[in-house]
Amino acid sequence: MIHRISVLVGSLRRHSTARKIAINAIGSFPDDFDARLVEIRKLPLYDFDFDDPSVTDKQTPPEYTRFRETIKASAGVLFVTPENNRTVPACLKNAVDIGSKPNADVAWTGLPAGIISHSVGRMGGYSSQKNLRLALSYFDMPAPGQPEVHIGRSHEVVAANGLFVDESTDAFVSDYVTRFADLVRASARG
């Protein structure tokens, strides 16, 4: 059994650190996992009217439908995100909101979630991660317990070749991915 994991990156920047960290994390999944980046750049800003059947001049955009189907077909979701203004970046909040509708068919419900936050400061996106967890707890998404991954001084952690500069960062992220994978397997059995 292959577990499909959707990996969401909370930055649209082409060479974002979050994307680089995500790619390293993807490489750390065990063999029975298929983890892939899910692009969120082209998702139109969430508008409830799109999902309101009584609004006849607006239709649900195909990007929403595709995104929701991708999430629902996943066995788990890994979020890798920086912090913008102490909270989740707009592009990621947009994906979260889109996946949360319609109310009768929330894409996120119960899916295991992994979270890796980072920032150039020492806090490592702590506040952004807390903020994301607040939303995810609403969907009853289980997440691995302690320790949480907050990568500080993140502009220094990835080398020019795309790999982590320090083996310790690599080991820490790999260990987290392993714990997340265990959680996904346990949920799949459950």
Residues that bind a copy of itself (CB under 8 A): 11-14, 16, 41, 43, 45-49, 52, 55, 84-91, 93-94, 96-98, 100, 110, 122-124, 126-127, 130-131, 134-135, 137-140, 142, 145-146, 152
The least CB distance from residue 153 to a copy of itself, in Å, is 9
The least CB distance from residue 69 to a copy of itself, in Å, is 19
CB nearer a copy of itself, residue 134 or residue 165: 134
What torsion do the CA atoms of 4, 110, 21, 167 make, to the nearest 10 degrees?
-90
Q: H-helix or E-strand containing 133?
A: helix 126-138
The least CB distance from residue 34 to a copy of itself, in Å, is 26
Token output for 82: 């920086």
CB nearer a copy of itself, residue 20 or residue 35: 20
Query: What is the rounded distance in angstroms from the CA atom of residue 9 to the CA atom of residue 136?
Result: 15
CB nearer a copy of itself, residue 34 or residue 186: 186
CB nearer a copy of itself, residue 74 or residue 119: 119
The least CB distance from residue 188 to a copy of itself, in Å, is 16
CB nearer a copy of itself, residue 62 or residue 190: 190
Contact criterion met (CB below 8 Å) for 129 and 115: yes
Residue 164 bridge partners (DSSP): 158
Burial 121-151, CB ≥16 within 10 A → b, else e:
eebbbbbbbbbbbebbeebebbbbeeebbbb
